[in-house]
């Protein structure tokens, strides 16, 4: 489990594409790797992945073809910046909202415009996820917990403050870019309960 509060901006340092097996990514990080065990979970742009090896200033993960096809990870190349968050421990501060690290779909940046020092993003969600997005609700985009400002069909607006622009990949996003989207867990279960009525 995660909270959508990014704690490191990592970088893909090596990609080994799988031929009949998983694709391996090596991620450069400023995390203290002495505190990360092989088998630990870290969210990568919102995708929970298992650490399979640690080196000096980097660690490796392996990603299945299914995950590559359902997320933006298949677009990663060497030098790509990655939002990282370590898994929650009991007693950690819940600064964002509860995030599972299981991506529901991929949204697209429809527009970006300045709003004082902040940036106002409009995202377009997949049609089947639009009903889970509500004004003043939460959504995780590329692993970042964000508050929805307004909703218009499949489009929704987010305001991104300067700190978030600097501490995450949101400072480099452009119109047309794709981001991993995880809907709010509460919205998912409320919708499921309503389906049974």
Confidence of residue 190 (pLDDT cuts 50, 70, 90): confident
- The yes/no answer on whether domain 105-195 falls in CATH 2.40.30.20 is yes
Mean pLDDT for 47-76 is 96
Asked if pLDDT for residue 194 goes beyond 90, the answer is: no
- Render pLDDT for 81-137 as a digit per residue (tens, 0 to 9): 999 999 987 777 777 788 999 999 999 999 999 999 999 999 999 999 999 999 999
Are 148 and 157 in contact by the 8 Å Cβ rule? The answer is yes
* 127 phi/psi in degrees, rounded to 5: -55, -40
pTM for the full model? 0.92
CATH of 8-86, one of 3.30.450.20, 2.170.150.20, 2.40.30.20, 1.10.10.200: 2.40.30.20
Residue 196 is predicted with a pLDDT of: 61
Whole-angstrom distance, CA of residue 146 vs CA of residue 134 = 12
Asked if pLDDT for residue 184 goes beyond 70, the answer is: yes
Mean pLDDT for 162-180 is 97
Residue 23 is predicted with a pLDDT of: 95
Residue 192 is predicted with a pLDDT of: 66
Pick the closest to residue 118 from 150, 149, 156, 160 (CA basis): 160
Residue 178 is predicted with a pLDDT of: 98
Compute the mean pLDDT over every residue in the chain, rounded to the nearest whole number.
93
Confidence of residue 154 (pLDDT cuts 50, 70, 90): very high
- Render pLDDT for 103-117 as a digit per residue (tens, 0 to 9): 999 999 999 999 999
**Residue ranges matching CATH 2.40.30.20 in the chain:** 8-86, 105-195
Asked if pLDDT for residue 197 goes beyond 60, the answer is: no
């Amino acid at each position: 489990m995660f909270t959508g509060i990014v704690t490191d901006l990592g970088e893909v340092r090596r990609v080994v594409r799988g031929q009949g097996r998983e694709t391996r990514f090596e991620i450069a990080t400023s995390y203290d790797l002495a505190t990360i065990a092989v088998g630990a979970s870290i969210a990568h742009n919102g995708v929970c992945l298992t650490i399979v090896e640690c080196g000096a200033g980097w660690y490796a993960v392996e990603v299945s073809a299914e995950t590559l096809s359902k997320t933006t990870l298949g677009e990663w190349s060497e030098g790509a910046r990655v939002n990282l968050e370590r898994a929650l421990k009991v007693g950690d501060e819940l600064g964002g909202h509860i995030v599972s690290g299981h991506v529901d779909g991929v949204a697209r940046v429809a527009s970006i415009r300045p709003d004082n020092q902040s940036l106002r993003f409009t995202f377009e969600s997949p049609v089947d996820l639009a009903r889970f997005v509500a004004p003043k609700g939460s959504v995780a985009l590329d692993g970042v917990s964000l508050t929805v400002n307004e909703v218009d069909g499949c489009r929704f607006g987010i305001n991104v403050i300067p700190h978030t622009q600097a501490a995450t990949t949101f400072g480099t996003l452009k119109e047309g870019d794709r981001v991993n989207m995880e809907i709010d867990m509460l919205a998912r279960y409320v919708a499921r309960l309503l389906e049974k009525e």
